[in-house]
Amino acid sequence: MTSSLLARYRARRVWRQATTLTHLAHLTADWLDGTLPAHITYGPNPDPETDGITRTLAAINRAGYLTTSSQPGHPPAVGHDGSVYEQRAAITGHIADPTLLHHLVDTAERAGLTVITHTADTSTGLDWMIATRQDGQPTAAFGEHVTPVQLRADWRGVSDQAHAAVAAAVQVTVVDPVWGRNDMLWPALTHLTAAIATA
């Protein structure tokens, strides 16, 4: 077995040993930082488009927000296929700590950002928000309600305790409503994590 395969095998064992949402979030931060060679769901490397926000993503995971998807905002730009793409800055994941949830919602709303929340068993209010357009047509959304069955598929390979922790957490999505803007969501999250670290 090569060293890289052995490292990924050991990483999967580490993921299987996690029993709490906080532990999953810290492992996600380690993966984002490059100190853990593989994510149980996303494989060996974060998407290259997150390069500019990786440090912020790692910090918010260490604060207890288990992130599962994110994207930077960018104005209309021609993609590899010749189509014109534009994005809203967005992040989604799970929070178990009510205090962190309160602070995140407060920080986001003061910054003029849109917050969408669900529990695994209940979908209420705004259910999703278009975050990517291709040639002016919607192609991706953030904030969709994730059912317990979907969560189990998404987190295949973690312990039953970790599954239960994710399912019990609040699903939290934050989207910048302004298309193309990329300097509001990430500074707001950075401010939040700094405030938590000094509290």
Q: What are the tens digits of pLDDT across the range 7-57?
A: 666 778 899 999 999 999 999 999 999 999 889 888 888 888 899 999 999
Strands 129-134 and 90-95: unpaired
Q: Which of 4-8, 128-132, 180-184 has the lowest mean pLDDT?
A: 4-8
Q: Which of 17-31, 34-48, 142-156, 165-179 has the lowest mean pLDDT?
A: 34-48
User: Between 148 and 182, where is the model more confident?
Assistant: 182
Model confidence at 1, pLDDT cuts 50, 70, 90, reads: very low
Neighbouring C-alpha atoms within 13 Å toward the C-beta of 35: 8
Model confidence at 120, pLDDT cuts 50, 70, 90, reads: confident
pLDDT, position 9? 67
pLDDT, position 127? 81
Chain-centroid distance, C-alpha 122: 20
Q: What is the pLDDT of residues 74-117, one digit of tens each?
A: 999 999 999 999 999 999 999 999 999 999 999 999 999 999 99
User: Between 157 and 26, where is the model more confident?
Assistant: 26
C-alpha separations of 122 from 100, 145, 147, 148 in Å: 20, 8, 9, 10
Is residue 93 within 8 Å of 100, Cβ to Cβ?
Answer: no
pLDDT over 90, % of the chain: 77
Is residue 43 within 8 Å of 75, Cβ to Cβ?
Answer: no
Mean per-residue pLDDT, 144-171: 93
The string of DSSP codes covering 145-191 is ---HHHHHHHTTTS-HHHHHHHHHSEEEEEE-SSTT--SSHHHHHHH
Q: Structure pTM?
A: 0.92
Count of residues making up the chain:
199
Q: What angle do CA 34, 38, 42 make, to 5 degrees?
A: 110
Question: 54: closest CA among 85, 29, 90, 79?
Answer: 29
Number of domains in the chain: 1
What is the domain extent for residue 58?
3-198
